[in-house]
Structure 1
């Protein structure tokens, strides 16, 4: 099963050992090749909390299952629920674990219903891996509370089948959610996309959630063996590539990320740290080694017969039958650092699913509009990053890199403009011959 985030991140960030153990089993659970599990998700629209958290949200055999995980002991005494830690201390709970799972399920249902997704089958479950006998109640089905005896790959898979099999059948008069739409929405709500500091090569923060386009691409990558991803500069292609590569590696596949420019190694390395993923510039690929899945960044600069043959040689099954993902920018970046053959692209496109990234997540609206107007490049729709309007700065003589750097240093020293109309994010510098566009 695909885990989002991958097991490496869950092992590092999970708040309890119970969650880590459950995640390990979920990753190996069999029976549904399209299954996906999202860990530690935030849910707004909660019935009595401004925001609640579900330990796991699963899509298993077209049924959404919300899971509450509780380690150590659980007991109900005089109508009040308690958790019992490893030292034997009792801690009062506001509600039963099942009620927590159910309320989180209702919150998720409300969110997706408000987005027009349609009716979908859903269930709530509890997993308490440290107790032998789960508590029984007329308020829930015994099959929906799993305990120590269910903590094996086979038993957990069987239990999930039972839970999914008991889900309510769709009402005759309701609009039904398409499974692919449901997957995409879940990827969008619960995938956290990183922002990387280009200078230090470190992950410095995470966006609130993946954009709709990024979610659609991630969902497509999870289900299709060969995918072409098209997007202009700033639409997040490389970030999506890295997230998808981690998911593939988490499934035990051998993974390659390749690119023409060796400098991209420094971009990818901090984001995939700790994973068994090979980062190799295209010029260093060796046909003697093959991979279960290959990711190609800036593939427009490798789109020649020779280049595509080389990619096919390092993928198990070859380019026509293997598993690969190519990310392309078909704007002014094509031809810059390599060669490009449109006939070869048409052949490659016939072998794969094509998807688009169309929202710019890096540059401000003002910069996006300026680039589109002056360069004619499609760098996505502006909608994520706000900022000051573009200002042009005239320079004497021909502009050069040192001139642009001096403007950039001045802007950094001045800092961003005070927040006035919902924006305090500075625009990047655009340095052109005879005049320079800048924004504070």
Structure 2
């Protein structure tokens, strides 16, 4: 499949065809180019082929995909898109012209390819098209029933073999048709080089950073197949370690639900993550408001305060946030005399931090049908990221399952689409991530992740300023975040002057969107977020599970560059962690 993923906003029919071609074991040696732009079209200035399939031993089939109702009236083709589309060029002619354009181009570039069979077909994913005409052959039609009930390899093979039979039956047989009409594996490689060659341009360090940032969303699109699982299952737990695209999947699930007319609550535990989610979903919220669809994004505490109309006392502690506030929200939600929100779909990001009984009680009442019968998806790292309460992730899953009679589907995410390769490897080895990532998509170059061992508070401050000075040669100040294992007030940054020569330090809470500031935050506060460059400071222990979990969360926030500062006394303990991680990795690989 070239490229290896299909865009999330591609038409549904094209995404369905992409998945069937990719997953059919009989298409393993085929080449498929999708969304292929044609700049040298035989009729128009330019065109596009939805799916170009090159099957060794069979031929080349150009497929036009129509995922809508179709009407032909007075010679005009009418499609029930939004908005509707009317054209004089039917889908069969579109596919045929695209196939001829590509064949003409390839034959000009490599005459040996001129004898290969090129033909076309039209896929109707929503209807069983059955009309007959001299303008197309019956075998050029792929209807809804055949598409969903038969392997795509069978459907494509049948069409190409029918095209071969037609060529052989013509009198006279076309001069180009003969023993060389079926492409070989070598010819497949030749066509790929001519149609979509790989290339590489070396850019400056700054450009590499920008490209890496742009790639994050493209990489995450490869994970969107997981959301098809959500369409078929009402209650899904998406499990995956840091960097596997869980948050972006949650946002995409919210977008799709609103487009389908469903009300949505996208929740998390962390306040900073909730604020970021609100900014990221602004366009979805506008769409929901325009269509009068209830939509909420943010942390659960904010929604509970909104429901209960509760003020936060000056002495608010963990008991208020985790017990008293949920109880007040539940009381309000149970009060029939008050108008309270309910949602068709509940999405929970960083779910491992929200599975206590008081929080689950609130979610039970917010969701139409409740947790046992309603539609929801939980996205979480249930292995290493539960840092807010001991054992919350493990016991929380048990609580959730007990409320749903185990009517839950689980989908595992293992492809890292956030971190540069060396960062992902450092996280895996240092933190003993097991099982590790199945694949790391980013090819962004990054320096090795080696900790700096500081001797004192003063030494760490000096090293921090020197490190930031180096990072500023490649990164903008707003792209750099300094994280601490401590609170803001006791962190390394708190001992430094806010104002530096050409930039300043600012708390992430004060300036979440950047500016000319290097921002700082605690690992706790920054959980669920990420940044191009992370400097992780104030690491004073790596022995207990809580410290290891914090280290894992902090390190995995970095996308392109990571620096880790540890106290000198941890050197032997860190070496032991790395040795254990390497042994575990070798054992997994064998």
Rounded to whole Å, the distance in 1 between the matches of 2:152 and 2:245 is 39
Are residues 1:226 and 2:226 paired?
Answer: no
Deviation at 1:272, TM superposition (A): 2.7
Q: What's 1:306 paired with? A: 358
CA distance in 2, matches of 1:290, 1:274: 21
Alpha-carbon spacing, 1:44–1:224, altered in 2? closer, same or farther (3 Å): same
Distance (Å, rounded) in 2 between the aligned partners of 1:278 and 1:413: 37
- Cα deviations across residues 126-169 of structure 1 (Å, max 9, x unaligned)? 89xxxxxx995343459969xxxxxxxxxxxxxx6588699899
Show the counterpart of 2:563: 429
1:227/1:326 contact within 8 Å kept: yes
Q: Alignment partner for residue 383 of structure 1, among 440, 458, 462?
A: 440
How do residues 41-440 of structure 1 correspond to structure 2 at under 5 angstroms? 45-46=32-33, 53-54=48-49, 66-67=64-65, 96-99=93-96, 124-125=122-123, 137-141=134-138, 204=214, 207-208=217-218, 210=220, 214-275=223-284, 276=288, 277-283=295-301, 284-285=303-304, 286=307, 287=333, 288-336=340-388, 340=392, 342-349=394-401, 350-378=406-434, 380-381=437-438, 383-386=440-443, 387-398=446-457, 406=465, 408-415=467-474, 426-434=560-568
Shift of 1:328: 1.3
Under a length normalisation based on structure 1, what TM-score does the superposition of the two structures give?
A: 0.55
C-alpha deviations, 1:355-375, integer Å up to 9, x for none?
111122212232223223333
* Contact 2:219 2:441 survives alignment (8 Å): no
Question: SS at the partner of 1:432?
Answer: strand
Between structures 1 and 2, the one with greater helix share: 2
Distance 1:403 1:336 in 2: 31
Distance 1:141 1:340 in 2: 59
Contact 2:64–2:95 (Cα < 8 Å) also in 1? no
CA distance in 1, matches of 2:265, 2:367: 9
User: How far apart are residue 252 of structure 1 and its match?
Assistant: 0.6
Contact conserved, 2:220 with 2:245, CA < 8 A, in 1?
A: no
Q: Is the 8 A contact 2:64 2:123 kept in 1?
A: yes
Q: Report the CA distance between 1:256 and its aligned residue.
A: 0.8
Task: List gaps (5 residues or longer) in structure 2.
Answer: 1-5, 19-29, 39-46, 53-62, 77-87, 104-119, 126-130, 158-212, 289-294, 308-332, 334-339, 476-558, 575-590
Equivalent-residue separation in structure 1 for 2:148 and 2:380 (angstroms): 42
d(CA) in 2 for partners of 1:426 and 1:209? 14
CA contact (8 A) 2:50 2:65 kept: yes
Question: Do the aligned partners of residues 126 and 370 (structure 1) sit closer, same or farther apart at CA in structure 2, a change above 3 Å counting?
Answer: closer
In 2, Cα distance between equivalents of 1:237 and 1:168: 30
Distance 1:261 1:408, change over 3 A: farther
Q: Which runs of 5+ in 1 are unaligned?
A: 11-22, 28-34, 58-64, 77-89, 107-121, 128-133, 146-159, 175-202, 417-424
Note if contact 1:98-1:126 (Cα within 8 Å) is conserved in structure 2: no
Q: Which residue of 2 aligns with 1:116?
A: none
Contact 2:454 2:566 in 1 (8 A): no
Distance 1:239 1:364 in 2: 18
CA distance in 2, matches of 1:395, 1:256: 44
SS in 2 for 1:303: coil
For the aligned residue pairs, the C-alpha RMSD in angstroms reads 5.2
The CA deviation string for residues 395-423 of structure 1, in whole angstroms up to 9 with x for no partner, is 3314899667535523423439xxxxxxx
What is the distance in 2 between the residues matched to 1:328 and 1:166?
34
Alpha-carbon distance between aligned partners in 1 of 2:139 and 2:438, rounded to the nearest angstrom? 49
Contact 1:399-1:431 within 8 A present in 2 as well? no
1:184 paired residue number: none
Q: Which has the higher strand share?
A: 1
Q: Determine the structure 2 residue equivalent to 1:178.
A: none
